Amino acid sequence: MTTTLRIATSLFALAALALGGCAAESEGGEVTSDSASEGNELGATVDELTTTGPTYAAGTKLVTIANLNLRSGPSTDQTVKKLMPSGSEVTVAETSGSNGWVKLSFGGFTGFGHTSYLTEVGDDAPSGQTVTSGEYDSTRGDKLASTANRVNGQPSRGACALEMSNSVERSRTVPSGKWRRNHAWLLANGMKNDSQYQRTVGFKYTTSLTTRTAPKGSIIGWRPGICGYNRTYGHIEIIANDSGRACSDFCGTVKTCDAGAIFIPTSL
């Protein structure tokens, strides 16, 4: 191997380490009920699944926000009874969920699903956006959302930070060469703590919005371990439409957990 080739290979490996490892693989990674090995709950490992969750009363209607296994018990080492496709409506069989697992009824089967990949029916669409007039740049937001949507229909590759950054730069809504690439939460947390950088790239950190009220083009950075996302890297994505969808290296329903950092696109 020539010196030039060795250097190029090393640089490629370093780039992969710097941008890979997102938790996007925790959604949509489960394909069939035959793939029910331990640690395969939507591509997450046992350590990445949260051990607490919301408690749902018996009879509550929920919807899956990704393909989800209905298991015989509250653990990823339990057998799979049924694969519940993304968007499936399920019913809470008995009050449960505080330990991260909720007992469900679906298609004549009863079993357990993880709360990280379930949301209440009717929670899909945002309501009451409270962006202060003059702050949000809808033109930039539309461009960011449209570019992020280019991956719609693709499966997760565990490269949320890479593809989210690609979307930002491909949208041409930030000054050339100014966008910082990093792991998901390092990228989001770094921008959160640097107001000058926010002004440079045209995003504003906000605490007045939630993951479901943030407008198109907003960036959501998820802290490590939140909502079932990777315990080391977290997750990052762009709000892709006005109906609660977000995209990184794949597109899916945005979760309602406390994300950690929300940024709206503002005028440069």
Least confident of 2-16, 32-46, 201-215: 32-46
**Token pair of 90 as six digits:** 């399920």
Backbone φ/ψ region at 266: left (φ over 0), alpha (ψ -120 to 50), beta: beta
Query: 75 lies in a domain?
Result: yes
Whether residue 242 sits in one domain with residue 146: yes
Give residue 158's pLDDT: 86
Q: How many domains does the chain have?
A: 2
- Examine the fold and report which residue of 92, 120, 148 is the final residue of a domain before the chain moves on: 120
DSSP assignment of 123-141 equals -SS-----PPTTTB-HHHH
CATH at 187: 3.90.1720.10
Tokens of 240: 């892709």
Domain boundary among 120, 151, 166: 120
Domain assignment of residue 101, yes or no: yes
Residues 111 and 152 in one domain: no
Q: What is the pLDDT of residue 98?
A: 85
Are residues 58 and 142 located together in one domain of the fold? Answer: no
Q: What angle do CA 209, 213, 216 make, to 5 degrees?
A: 110
Question: What is the C-alpha to C-alpha distance for residues 103 and 87, in angstroms, rounded to an integer?
Answer: 18
User: For position 41, which CATH number holds?
Assistant: 2.30.30.40
Burial class (CB in 10 A: 0-12, 13-18, 19+), 172: exposed
What global pTM score does this model have? 0.57
Tell me which residue range forms the domain holding 188.
138-265
Residues 143 and 103 in one domain: no
Report the Cα 164 to chain-centroid distance in Å.
Answer: 11
Does any domain span residue 60? Answer: yes
Tokens encoding 211: 């993951």
pLDDT in tens, 57-109: 999 998 876 678 899 999 888 999 999 887 788 999 999 988 889 999 999 99
